[in-house]
Amino acid sequence: MVTTGDAPPFQRGETFYNGGPIDTTDLGGVNYEGMEWTFTDNDPRSTSQSVGSGRSVTARITRNVSGGNLKGGRLARFKAEDPYESRVDGYTFAVGDRPAGIIDEYLPSAGVPNNDLFWLVIDGPTQFTQLSASAANLVIGDRLVPGAGTSATNDDAGRVAKQDVTGAAATLANNIQNSVGYSGAVQASTVNAKFSGVIHRFGK
């Protein structure tokens, strides 16, 4: 269900518990898992609520079950065998990983705690995080795919790389199938930072 008129249970840049204690034996907000809201593209941290692109952003309420904090602006992957695709167990860390979406880029630097609910951006303008040692500069319009990392919970994961369609069959298929969107900024390969872009929806 995509909701635009009703008030969401928490805002972008926040989590369900929002710093409060989490009872792992009785998790709250289970009824919200998987629900989607459409927001206007703006920075909720801004006092003026200034509009960014003016486009709509669709986000899904998702639970972090990775065992640790997950940072905003990173590509997440759904927990294996999650039929409703409402829980993530870490970041993508290979081009063959099917991306779930971008963890809310407006979260505090610590990210979302384990077992908390957060907004997973699945369609519209967002911010990606570049590989710390990207193989290529990015320009506006470059297609993006999951970058290579060490593991699903390592800090080098959840980042994006420029799509490469020159590889052999399996690699080529992954680069096409797991394309996550495109760059909305010029980004040097040496820059390890968030940058603007647009993600397209998966799982429709």
Each residue of 141-197: pLDDT tens digit? 999 999 999 999 999 999 999 999 988 889 999 999 999 999 999 887 766 678 899
- In this prediction the pTM is 0.92
Q: Is residue 112 part of a domain?
A: yes
Q: 167 is in which domain, residue-wise?
A: 2-199
Number of domains in the chain: 1
Q: Is residue 35 part of a domain?
A: yes
Q: Are 179 and 96 in contact (CB under 8 A)?
A: no
Residues in the chain: 204
User: Can you tell me the distance from the alpha carbon of 110 to that of 174, in angstroms, rounded to the nearest whole number?
Assistant: 31
Q: Is residue 204 part of a domain?
A: no
How do residues 45-89 score in pLDDT, each as one tens digit?
Answer: 877 656 677 889 999 999 999 999 999 999 999 999 888 899 999
